[in-house]
Amino acid sequence: MKYKNNYISDILKRDELIDVQLPQKFNKNELLNAHYKAKEEKRFFTEDASLLYHYNKTPIYILKGKNYNIKLTTNVDLIIAEEIYKEYMVVE
Protein backbone atom coordinates (compact mmCIF):
# COMPACT_ATOMS: atom_id res chain seq x y z
CA MET A 1 0.00 0.00 0.00
CA LYS A 2 1.03 3.55 -0.53
CA TYR A 3 0.03 5.99 2.13
CA LYS A 4 -0.16 9.70 2.70
CA ASN A 5 -0.93 11.44 5.99
CA ASN A 6 -1.56 8.03 7.63
CA TYR A 7 -4.24 7.08 5.07
CA ILE A 8 -4.02 4.56 2.26
CA SER A 9 -3.61 6.46 -1.00
CA ASP A 10 -3.04 3.61 -3.45
CA ILE A 11 -2.75 -0.16 -3.64
CA LEU A 12 0.46 -1.72 -4.94
CA LYS A 13 0.15 -4.51 -7.50
CA ARG A 14 1.32 -7.78 -5.98
CA ASP A 15 2.73 -9.07 -9.28
CA GLU A 16 5.08 -6.07 -9.39
CA LEU A 17 6.54 -6.76 -5.93
CA ILE A 18 9.26 -9.11 -4.72
CA ASP A 19 10.20 -10.38 -1.29
CA VAL A 20 13.54 -9.09 -0.09
CA GLN A 21 15.83 -11.53 1.68
CA LEU A 22 18.97 -10.80 3.60
CA PRO A 23 21.84 -10.51 3.42
CA GLN A 24 22.04 -7.91 0.72
CA LYS A 25 25.48 -7.05 -0.62
CA PHE A 26 26.52 -3.55 -1.66
CA ASN A 27 29.60 -1.34 -1.87
CA LYS A 28 30.17 -0.04 1.66
CA ASN A 29 31.05 3.56 0.73
CA GLU A 30 28.14 3.91 -1.69
CA LEU A 31 25.77 2.51 0.92
CA LEU A 32 27.05 4.80 3.69
CA ASN A 33 26.84 7.86 1.45
CA ALA A 34 23.27 7.00 0.49
CA HIS A 35 22.35 6.60 4.18
CA TYR A 36 23.90 9.99 4.98
CA LYS A 37 21.92 11.63 2.17
CA ALA A 38 18.70 10.01 3.34
CA LYS A 39 19.35 11.17 6.90
CA GLU A 40 20.02 14.74 5.74
CA GLU A 41 16.81 14.73 3.71
CA LYS A 42 14.86 12.95 6.48
CA ARG A 43 13.86 10.21 4.02
CA PHE A 44 13.15 6.63 5.02
CA PHE A 45 13.56 3.45 2.98
CA THR A 46 12.41 -0.07 3.78
CA GLU A 47 15.74 -1.62 2.80
CA ASP A 48 19.13 -0.78 1.32
CA ALA A 49 18.37 -1.76 -2.29
CA SER A 50 15.70 0.93 -2.71
CA LEU A 51 17.92 3.43 -0.89
CA LEU A 52 20.85 2.85 -3.28
CA TYR A 53 18.62 2.82 -6.31
CA HIS A 54 17.05 6.13 -5.29
CA TYR A 55 20.32 8.00 -4.71
CA ASN A 56 22.74 6.30 -7.11
CA LYS A 57 20.48 4.69 -9.70
CA THR A 58 22.63 1.64 -8.93
CA PRO A 59 21.49 -1.37 -10.97
CA ILE A 60 20.12 -3.88 -8.46
CA TYR A 61 20.52 -7.50 -9.51
CA ILE A 62 17.76 -9.78 -8.23
CA LEU A 63 18.79 -13.28 -7.26
CA LYS A 64 15.95 -15.73 -6.71
CA GLY A 65 15.83 -16.72 -3.05
CA LYS A 66 14.18 -19.53 -1.16
CA ASN A 67 10.73 -19.42 0.44
CA TYR A 68 12.09 -21.06 3.55
CA ASN A 69 14.73 -18.36 4.16
CA ILE A 70 12.94 -16.61 7.02
CA LYS A 71 14.03 -14.09 9.62
CA LEU A 72 14.36 -15.54 13.12
CA THR A 73 13.30 -12.93 15.63
CA THR A 74 10.84 -14.45 18.08
CA ASN A 75 10.34 -17.81 19.77
CA VAL A 76 7.51 -18.55 17.33
CA ASP A 77 9.98 -18.03 14.46
CA LEU A 78 12.19 -20.74 15.94
CA ILE A 79 9.30 -23.20 16.00
CA ILE A 80 8.47 -22.38 12.39
CA ALA A 81 12.14 -22.70 11.42
CA GLU A 82 12.36 -26.16 12.99
CA GLU A 83 9.39 -27.30 10.92
CA ILE A 84 10.85 -25.81 7.76
CA TYR A 85 14.15 -27.55 8.51
CA LYS A 86 12.36 -30.89 8.90
CA GLU A 87 10.35 -30.37 5.72
CA TYR A 88 13.00 -29.03 3.34
CA MET A 89 16.47 -29.70 4.65
CA VAL A 90 16.18 -33.25 5.96
CA VAL A 91 14.29 -34.45 2.89
CA GLU A 92 16.94 -33.03 0.54
3-class DSSP string for 62-88:
CCCCCCCCCCCCCHHHHHHHHHHHHHH
Q: What is the pLDDT of residue 52?
A: 93
What distance in Å separates the CA atoms of residue 19 and residue 46, rounded to the nearest whole number?
12
Mean pLDDT of the chain: 86
Average pLDDT over residues 63-85: 87
- Whether residue 28 is predicted with pLDDT greater than 80 in this model: the reply is yes
pLDDT tens, position by position, 39-65: 999 999 988 999 999 999 988 888 887
Q: In this structure, are residues 21 and 47 in contact, taking their beta carbons and an 8 Å threshold? A: no
Q: In this structure, are residues 59 and 52 in contact, taking their beta carbons and an 8 Å threshold? A: no
Listed in order, strand segments (DSSP E) in the chain are 2-4, 7-10
Q: What is the pLDDT of residue 67?
A: 77
In the structure, what pLDDT confidence band is assigned to residue 85 with cuts at 50, 70 and 90? confident
Amino acid 73 reads T
pTM, to two decimals: 0.60
In the structure, what pLDDT confidence band is assigned to residue 1 with cuts at 50, 70 and 90? low
